[in-house]
Structure formats: structure tokens, C-alpha cells
Amino acid sequence: MKALNPQLNTWDDSALLQFFMSENMRRPENINFGIGEMDFPTPQIIVDACKGALDSGITFYMPTAGAPELRLALAEACSREYGLEFTENEIFVTPGGTNALFVVILALAGDGGEVLYPNPGFPAYLPQIALGNGTPVDYPLSEENGFIPEPDDIRNRITNRTKLLILNSPSNPIGNIIPSETLEDLAAIAIDNDIWVISDEAYRHLVYAPDRHSSIISLPGMRERTFLTCSFSKSYSMTGWRIGYIVAPSTFNEAFFKIFQYTVTCVSSFSQIAAAKAVQLGDSYYRETLLQMTSRKELIERGLSEITTVSFPKPQGAFYVFLNIQRTGLSSAEVSKKLLDDYSLVTIPGSAFGDLGEGYLRLSYASDLDKIEEGLERLKDAMQHLIPQ
């Protein structure tokens, strides 16, 4: 038998998969701090729009770049949110935010170009770069810097083969945001070195007051080199719908069209009509969601503060806490396994997000207050046993 694509060997998540597939993962008494989606159902008004589109027979192919009404709605929303004027030609609808990332990487770095990505960071970056035939180059995020990218770390890794810098704010798995001053430094580096930037803002509508979301795309000189990727999954509790989008200079449309036409064709037609309705919900919808998510964040923050043997950066966005469990003396995979097996608490080992995630766990607080409370109890209990006093 001939060999498969050797890029598939660039990463190995078999241990992690084994963990996720384990018997104990399916126990009904589990509290799930692992999951990357909110427990809210999709708002009824969006569901109704989808059903209406189905009833109107919108079951045929859509244009490759997206339904015109969705592109227009997104252009208007992004113009408002970023203080720039976007047209529908700068919006490209994709089947989810993950696919949006892959399309950009494949278009820009598929010649072996180097792509800088955060470690720890979203687990898809490395596989996407490898599968897109780019060259992965990680940059460190460390607790002593608040898990913020250090401009010097980026600068030192740039070569004449560097094509792309991936930024992720709010961050999965850290739950922090990149401050404006750092974005300004990073913008200067991108401009000086003529590199493109992917700004992965899948969680941009989940930033907790007094913090505010800011994006590198809004900085002078950056709009023409920034590829903003986003998703309906987290903003509107639409994970199962698979709708994302790219905001990019329209000069790249031909490249995206070529990739998209021949790898995906188009995105579900009636789902796009529903997504356009979601965009029209406007800011009031985010405010309501944020209100609920803020109580959850405050609860977990308070609860974790009471466990004096662990530490974590201040949660500012998304719905994750990145918990330092180094005093257990165990690997993050070992701690996650013990939490699951002995305490029925699901967490994600930090090593799933890169080797520099070792020593941490990602906790998701996207579930209701009772469950968070119970999960915190189990965690407290576990840490008392795992960390020698």
C-alpha cells in the first residue's frame, strides 16, 4: 500500500482522541467543562427564518461567495463594529470559521510559506498550515506575559519566507484578549515586514466589561493586509449550522473563489438566509447573551480564586479559563484523566493546544450556573487530593 500524505504526520492527536472516546466520557453524571459551545439553543427567530427559507424553496445552489443578502448584512455589521466601510465584495461566506481559516492559509501560504501561530493556541492552526502546505512556526504565549504575544517573539521569528501571522483575540484556550498597544506593535511589524495577518475573531462578541474587543484590522495600514475570520457558532449559538466568513480585501476574491468553488462549492442556501436574519438581530442580542455569560464567568472566577493551589489569567473574553495546575506535579493529560475518572469532571488538557500548554487545563464555563457550581466543588475536592499541602 502506498503512503498517505505525509503532512498528516505533522501532528498526532491520537492520545487526545482516545481520551475523548473513553467510556467514562459518556457517564451521565459528568459535569462538562470541556465543551467549546454554549448550551443556549439557537434563537427561535433564526430557526424560524431557516424554516421560512425552506418553505420558500430556497434549497438550490447559492453563489460561491455567499448569499447576497448575507454578504450585505455582514458588510454593514462589520462596518459598524470596526469603524471602517466594508462592501459585500469584502465578505466571503464559508462553512464555519475553521474552514474560513483554512481557505486563507491555503490561498496565501500554500507554497511552503511560513505561518506564525500561537502556542498554546487553537488546535486547528498547526494541522491547517500543514494540510495547506505551509510551514508552521509557533510563537510562545507565556503566563508571565499574561499569555499576550510578545512583539519581540514575533519579530525574531520572521524570515523572508514568512507569509502570515495568526492572531487570536479573544483567545481560545486562554480566554484573554490582546491589548490595543500590543496590536499596534504587531501591526508595525506586519507592515515593516510585508506580512499578512489572520485575525481569528470567532469569539469577538464575547468580551466582558470593562474590557472591549479591538481588532488589528482597524489600525492604519492594516485593512489591506488583514484577513478577519469569524463564525456564527459562538456569536449566535449556531455551532451546528456551520457558517463562518472571511473579511478581506476584495483583491483576494478571485483566489478565495478558486479555492472555495472547487473544495466546497457554496454554503447551505437556507442556512445563509437564517444567518442574515441573525446579523439583523444587532447588538441587543449580544448584550443579552453577554449578561448571562458574565454571571457564569464571575461564578467560575470566584470559585477558582478560592482554590489557592491553582492560578489563571483574568478571563476577559470567550468562555474559557486557562488553569495552571503545575503544582499537581502531573501532566495536564494525567490531571484531565483523573478529573474525568475520579471526579466525573470533563476538562481539556492544555497539551491539546500545543506543547507550551502543558501544565494547564482549559475549563469552559459555557454551561448553566448550577453545573458550574457543582464542577467547581469537584475541582476543589480533586485539587485537595492532587496537590500535596
List the interface residues with its own copies, window 148-167 (CB under 8 A): 163
| Shortest Å, Cβ 162 to its own copies | 9
- State how far the Cα of 109 lies from the Cα of 210, in Å rounded to an integer: 37
What CA–CA distance (Å, rounded) separates 179 from 240?
Answer: 31
Q: Which member of 74, 77, 107, 174 binds its own copies (CB under 8 A)?
A: 107
Under the binding rule (CB under 8 A), the answer on residue 5 touching its own copies is yes
Q: Does 223 bind its own copies (CB under 8 A)?
A: no
Cβ neighbors of 373 (< 8 A, separation 6 or more) are 299, 303
**Which of 108/206 has CB closer to its own copies?**
108
CA distances from residue 56 to 52, 240, 264, 277, 366 in whole angstroms, order as listed: 6, 22, 24, 15, 35
Q: What are φ and ψ of residue 169, in 5° steps?
A: -150, 125
Stretch 231-260 residues interacting with its own copies (CB under 8 A): 237-242, 252, 254-255, 257-259
Closest approach of its own copies to the CB of residue 329, in Å = 32
Binding-site member from 261, 292, 305, 384 for its own copies (CB under 8 A)? 261
Residue with C-alpha cell 466543588?
A: 377
Q: Which of 92, 93, 116, 128 binds its own copies (CB under 8 A)?
A: 128
Instruction: Pick the binder of its own copies from 89, 135, 250, 269 (CB under 8 A).
Output: 269
- Neighbouring CB atoms inside 10 A of 387's CB total 17
Tell me the window of 69-77, 123-131, 166-174, 339-347 that interacts with its own copies (CB under 8 A).
Answer: 123-131
Angle at 77 between CA 211 and CA 295, to 5 degrees: 35
Check residue 281 for interaction with its own copies (CB under 8 A).
no
DSSP 169-232: SS-TTT-----HHHHHHHHHHHHHTT-EEEEE-TTTT-B-TT-----GGGSTTTGGGEEEEEEH
Q: Is the dihedral of CA 64, 67, 72, 73 positive or negative?
A: negative
Which of positions 58-87 make contact with its own copies (CB under 8 A)?
A: 58-62
Return the residue of 79, 89, 133, 311 that touches its own copies, per CB under 8 A: 133
113 binds its own copies per the rule CB under 8 A: yes
Q: Is 108 in the site for its own copies (CB under 8 A)?
A: yes
Judge whether 204 and 215 are in contact, CB under 8 Å: yes
Q: Which of residues 305-364 bind its own copies (CB under 8 A)?
A: none
DSSP state of 317: B
Q: Would you say 308 and 224 are in contact if contact means Cβ atoms under 8 Å apart? A: no
Smallest distance from its own copies to CB 53, Å: 9
**Cβ of residue 144: shortest distance to its own copies, in angstroms?**
30
Q: Give least dist CB 6 to its own copies, A.
A: 5
Which residues from 22-61 bind its own copies, rule CB under 8 A? 37, 41-42, 47, 50-51, 54-55, 57-61
Separation between Cα atoms, residue 332 and residue 347, nearest integer Å: 10
Give 148 or 274: the residue with its C-beta nearer to its own copies. 274
Choose between 44 and 284: whose C-beta lies nearer to its own copies: 44
